[in-house]
Structure 1
């Protein structure tokens, strides 16, 4: 049996990634999902509710994939490199359209907007994960370093998306490597 809710979410996720949140209308989502408008509103009373569910699922998928990839590596240097290698592989995929969270925050820029807030939470959770990797070897410096690494990752995402630079992740890694290896 087809889970109509999940079909809606997956269709919306693909379309939002391709065309933005405000650029893609409900009618297009239901047409491509092959689902009635009443069914959409049964599960999602508003477009904002649908966007929030899309971002929630994207966050879980993104972080799980990234963390599983990184956690397979031995040693801090290899784990930090894996953060950038994972992004490098993502940037080179045909369906790469930038970061859904950066894009959402740009379209819904008011910090009190729930869509902006879920996007900010995603970035915070990424930073928290990076900090957990660094904590043992970098101690008090780990929070700042995790933030710096995330800035490099976000910059690489933007460079890959906006400039079409598929090597942005590995270029950012060169800077991150210096930051991680430098003495406290």
Structure 2
């Protein structure tokens, strides 16, 4: 990836994540990045192309971070603990590659595109599916209900931390999952 393209993607991602997709125009991305309009259009035909590139960059960064966090675990309880402890650190701006915390970029972006068949919305859906598959790949259990519980609580924790500023919600979710596992054992 060329340095100018990378700069445009990183600038767009930072601006979109902080302010939202619809409130940031191409001119703001150009101003902050210092890149010429012609250069931007050499790399991206439309704003939608730039949004998709920003989503891809965040997707790679988030999945890489989460994979590293889950890979440190041995056993399902530790995988789940690592997940919610990692989320807690993210919510509290202790994950340098994901901070500052401003909710989930994919939830935020999806909320700005009401058409569920739109390519941007579909990318957000694919990201959520990839996260689910990543979590499943680290669990030895193939219990779909457990996986769904983990994923729903993860999403709820992200929204609670973002919308209600409940930055301690991830440890609460962890307790719920672990209690559920001990009751079903």
How many angstroms apart in 2 are the aligned matches of 1:179 and 1:131?
A: 17
The structure where helix makes up a greater share of residues is 1
How many angstroms apart in 1 are the aligned matches of 2:119 and 2:66?
A: 24
Unpaired stretches in structure 2, ≥5 consecutive residues: 94-98
The root-mean-square deviation of aligned C-alpha atoms, in Å, is 1.4
Which residue pairs with 1:14 in the alignment?
A: 14
| Runs of 4+, deviation exceeding 4 Å | none
Offset at residue 73 of structure 1 (A): 1.8
How many angstroms apart in 2 are the aligned matches of 1:81 and 1:3?
A: 38
So what's the TM-score if we normalise by structure 2? 0.92
SS where residue 184 of structure 2 aligns?
A: coil
Which residue pairs with 2:159 in the alignment?
A: 158
1:104-119 aligned at under 5 Å gives the runs 104-119=109-124
Q: Check the 8 A contact 2:71/2:138 in 1, yes or no.
A: no
Which residue pairs with 1:145 in the alignment?
A: 146
Unpaired stretches in structure 1, ≥5 consecutive residues: none
1:163-182 aligned at under 5 Å gives the runs 163-182=164-183
1:99-155: CA deviations, max 9, x gaps?
000011111121110110000011111111222233x3x33x2x2321221110111
Q: Check the 8 A contact 2:16/2:24 in 1, yes or no.
A: yes
Which residue pairs with 2:132 in the alignment?
A: 127
**How many residues are aligned here?**
179
Q: Check the 8 A contact 2:5/2:43 in 1, yes or no.
A: yes
Q: Check the 8 A contact 2:70/2:138 in 1, yes or no.
A: no
Which residue pairs with 2:100 in the alignment?
A: 95
SS where residue 35 of structure 2 aligns?
A: coil
How many angstroms apart in 2 are the aligned matches of 1:122 and 1:65?
A: 14
